[in-house]
Amino acid sequence: MSDVPTDDALSALAAEVLDAARGRGDLIATAESCTGGLVSAALTSVPGSSDVFDRGFVTYTNAAKSEMLGVPAWLIEKHGAVSEEVARAMAGGALAQSNATIAVSITGIAGPGGGSVEKPVGLVHFAAERRDLPTQHQRMEFGDVGRDTVRRLSVECALLMLRALA
């Protein structure tokens, strides 16, 4: 596991993401579950972010994923909310429901409970999509390192994925 990023490190990374997106004329959307809006908060904590950040969706429940992002209920039932398939659908839904050109999604199990043998605490799926490129997926197993740590590491991973697209 990598070091837990500080607030300053996340702010610096968010500023890099915004600068890169601004340079390409991109707009950003986020679709977050286990991070509860922390990626959006990191981006919008940077002064001037309003010209690049379009919107964030906090879709904590399965119903919210379906209603706000158009993730099919059958997909959630078949693969579970914490899955590559749902992460990809969330990113695509964020693009479809916004003016953004790039989006990132996060769905995982931050803990302390909720894990299983197949999907342990600390498992997080990410997807990042640009309208003109194939969706990128990343699966991370941070381990049972505490809820705050899983969420901070997830924010860092999502920002890194956005930076790679911008």
Name the residue with higher pLDDT: 3 or 63.
Answer: 63
pLDDT on residue 132? 84
31-43 pLDDT, tens digit each: 999 999 999 999 9
pLDDT on residue 77? 98
pLDDT on residue 66? 98
CATH of domain 7-165: 3.90.950.20
Looking at the predicted structure, is the pLDDT value of residue 1 above 60? no
The pTM (predicted TM-score) of the whole model is: 0.96
**What is the domain partition of the chain in residue ranges?**
7-165
47-72 pLDDT, tens digit each: 999 999 999 999 999 999 999 999 99
DSSP states along the chain? -PPPPPHHHHHHHHHHHHHHHHHHT--EEEEESTTTTHHHHHHHTSTTGGGTEEEEEE--SHHHHHHHH---HHHHHHH-SSSHHHHHHHHHHHHHTSS-SEEEEEEE--SSS---SSS-TTEEEEEEEETTSPPEEEEEE--SS-HHHHHHHHHHHHHHHHHHH-
User: In the chain, what percentage of residues exceed pLDDT 70?
Assistant: 99
